[in-house]
Amino acid sequence: MIGIYARVDLHCSRVRSLRNESDLLGGYPGGSNNSTGYRTKEVTVDQSTPSSPTRQFDSVRNQLAQAEGLAFLRLLSQPMVAATCCHLSHRWRDRIYTPWITLSLFLSQVLAAEQSCDQAIDRFQKCRYDQKLPKVATDTTSYCEARQRLPEELIGELVRRTGASILQKAKPSWLFHGRAVKIADGSSVVMPDTPSNQKAYPQPNSQAPGLGFPIARILVIFSLAVGTVLDAAVGPYQGKETSELALLRQIAGQFQSGDILLGDRFFCSYWVIADFQKRGVDVVVRLHQCRSADFRRGRRLGREDHVVTWSKLKAIPDWMSRAEYEAMPAELTIRELRVQVRDKTKRVRQLVVVSTLSDAKTYSAKELGDLFRQRWHAELDLRALKTHMNMEMLRTKSPEMVRKEIGAHLLAYNLIRGLMAEAARVEQAKPRTLSFMGAVHTTCAFEESHLYDPTWIEADLPRLLELIGEKQLADRPDRCEPRVAKQRPKPKPLLRMPRWAARRLIKRGMIPYNKA
């Protein structure tokens, strides 16, 4: 890791170097003070002329560095972003749209109701106006170019770092027997219909050309204790090696020895369980529909609770080499137990849960059943990202920017979850009992009223955490609600041909669609 980056000090006539970057990052993994191969150029600032353009620019930049950004950016400091950029060997020019300011505008953009670049620039203009600073260009060209210059790895690294740091501060009572439970779940997002997006993330074959949208599959790993995103993978929706299991293999390194993987029946795979056992990670998933449980066999642990042996499949998957196949264990010791849950119609359903936690004295059947039931939090977290934060339909028009936009949503989500974890600690509650959208609304309300006062966070943070902690979710277990919409949408005709063909027919005086 690079140990040097520059900061302008108004009390000195030179740009000083900040060393010991790992201290600024709070013990960043892999950090060191070695600056070999990188040099910091000293720039002399002319103090003799108050109207010097360089002097004015330095003043503008430092004022923005103090005032710009959302309240929760205290968890994502400017030194952290700069140090991460240096770690990725990313160079930038110290102009108006520095990586930190660009990222803060990007995060405020994904949290806004209208996620437009124009609105982000308007907020930036208002900030500069209140500080009596010169305005920037009203068009979004410079800001969009600054977003394109942001390294794609920067946002992903910050997502992983913020998610892990918040989880590390979790109280022991939030964990499962002192162990971190990580939920894996997949979903999909759509994006604008551009040639580059179609090439990277093709639309489904069932949709006619010109009538569909590019679609990407995402796999997200959530922390059950604090709700943060620990890592994510993005890939095409269909094709070879595009399944959720393939994406899980890409980010399996996120799991550490002692963790617990919690997932649905799709992750009930011999290869997944064997691979994670090698890593020292236990698994709790639902039994796959292609397997059946016979509780008359195996070592009995209780009523409909036993330990059985699974044998390795003879067929080698296409993605696995012969050496990897030979390294897999010939047998797996698996615990199977039947649990009862209530569905949306209040009917009792029986599910078979598969786990590698075979010690019935330490992990009772009831505890494992309750743990699997909490897998539903991943569905709620994805709903918060896709519906409440509008990540379901992305706005960017290139694959690189699509991945950055997804990362910006995940990073903003983590920062809100960080505030919720702090509020839960203050209110003696669990983060999962607090309202996510309540935290978003409260944070944005504070940020709107104090956006241009860089000192408000120190005085008003206790009040902000108190309000977030008071917005607790109602205890509504097994609630029954139909998953239908009462409000009827307005009837609109559907596009049944490519848009260019429809425009051609309109110019000829023809109606290219049928009324719905």
Structure tokens at 62: 């430092």
State the first-to-last Cα distance of the chain, in angstroms, to the nearest integer.
59
Q: Which of 335, 337, 351, 350 is nearest to 282 (CA)?
A: 335
Alpha helical stretches, state H, 88-209:
99-111, 117-130, 141-149, 152-168, 195-200
pLDDT in tens, the chain (516 residues): 222 223 323 233 233 333 333 333 333 333 333 333 333 333 333 333 334 444 433 443 343 333 334 445 556 777 888 888 888 888 888 788 888 889 988 998 898 878 889 888 888 888 888 778 888 888 889 999 999 999 999 999 999 999 999 999 999 999 999 999 999 999 999 999 999 999 999 999 888 888 899 999 999 999 999 999 999 999 999 988 899 999 999 999 999 999 999 999 999 999 999 999 999 999 999 999 999 988 999 999 999 999 999 999 999 999 999 999 999 999 999 999 998 876 555 566 789 999 999 999 999 999 999 999 999 999 999 999 999 999 999 999 999 999 999 999 999 999 999 999 999 999 999 999 999 999 999 988 887 665 545 556 667 788 888 999 999 998 776 677 777 888 898 888 888 888 888 899 899 888 877 654
pTM: 0.82
Task: Specify whether the backbone of 60 is left (phi greater than 0), alpha (psi in -120 to 50) or beta.
Answer: alpha
